[in-house]
Copies of this chain bind each other. A is one copy, B any other.
Amino acid sequence: MSEEINKESSIRLYLRRIIFGTDTPQGRYFDICLIICIILSVALVFLDTIVSIHSAYGGMILQLEWFFTVLFTVEYIIRLYCSTNRWQYAKSFYGVVDFLSILPSYLILFFPGANFSMVIRILRLFRVFRVLKLLRYLSEGNVLLQALTQSSRKVIMFFFSVSLIVVVLGSVMYAVEGPYNGFTSIPKSIYWTIVTITTVGYGDITPVTELGQGIAALTMLIGYSIIAIPTGIITAEISQEMRRNRDLRRCSNCLKLGHETDAGFCNQCGNELQDVV
């Protein structure tokens, strides 16, 4: 491995340390600059959609937009250049995100004028997905994701059950309220049920008949109770995860893990425990 590194040019090695490393001052400085650029670039896309700002500063925003596009293009090329395995980086999740965050700006050049206004509008919006570049700084050492992954099977079961309830209640409400009260079809009625059971409650569609209001009240109470279930699952997982981290005490003799925080001796081999924490 030391040989492999020697073969690379020293510039490449230096760049890799800055771009992929997080433990050197330059690496950290580069990360902070990149995060700021991403946020500013996404903020630009946001501001451009406000009509008054677009008409007043449209030209300046376009210039800044190209500045960030060039910046991210340079970043992408350097990342490609200094990867040990270029194809692997290009195929990876972050490689694809980095590529997609510069693509739309260049594609827009190929669709000139008003004929492609719809295409251009969507391409412009795609630049928002630059925000996903931030995921790189989120994913390491994430206890939450671990807890979510471990309880994913239970959460899927939960959503399956909720779907059944939503389908049945939505159909019943369609039958009870009917198209005249806003429940124009079962899909719309199911939309209402989800709005109600998640306790969002827009009020764009509301039950009018007495029976409908009764079923709505029932739906709310169901939603109110079952919101407890995912919370319960996640809480129990996180508690366990925390305890596991706390209990990561290893016996130096038999390498057995997970002793009580206050245990003085290994309960497998009787060896005295060193206090690690």
Q: From residue 13 to 51 of chain A, which have CB atoms closer than 8 A to chain B?
A: 42, 45-47, 49-51
Number of copies of this protein chain within its complex: 4
Q: B258 touching A267 by the CB < 8 A rule?
A: no
Say whether A71 faces chain B, with CB atoms less than 8 Å apart.
Answer: no
Q: B258 touching A261 by the CB < 8 A rule?
A: yes
Q: B185 touching A157 by the CB < 8 A rule?
A: no
User: A156-183 vs B: 1/0 string, CB under 8 Å?
Assistant: 0111111010011001101100010000
Q: B191 touching A213 by the CB < 8 A rule?
A: yes
Cα of A138 to Cα of B159 in the assembled complex, Å: 11
Number of A residues with CB within 8 Å of any CB on chain B = 94
User: A189-204 vs B: 1/0 string, CB under 8 Å?
Assistant: 0110011101111111
Query: Of B172, B175, B232, which contacts A237 at CB under 8 A?
Result: B232
Say whether A131 faces chain B, with CB atoms less than 8 Å apart.
Answer: yes
Say whether A128 faces chain B, with CB atoms less than 8 Å apart.
Answer: yes
Say whether A264 faces chain B, with CB atoms less than 8 Å apart.
Answer: yes
Given A157-B144, A159-B221, is A239 in contact with B235 using a C-beta cutoff of 8 Å? yes
Given A187-B50, A201-B195, is A227 in contact with B221 using a C-beta cutoff of 8 Å? no
Cα of A227 to Cα of B225 in the assembled complex, Å: 8
Q: Assuming A50-B185, A239-B239, what are 12 further A-B pairs, CB within 8 angstroms? A: A49-B186, A49-B187, A125-B174, A125-B175, A135-B164, A138-B157, A198-B220, A199-B200, A202-B202, A227-B231, A236-B242, A257-B262
- Which 4 residue pairs are nearest across A and B when measured between Cβ atoms? A200-B201, A232-B235, A202-B203, A232-B234
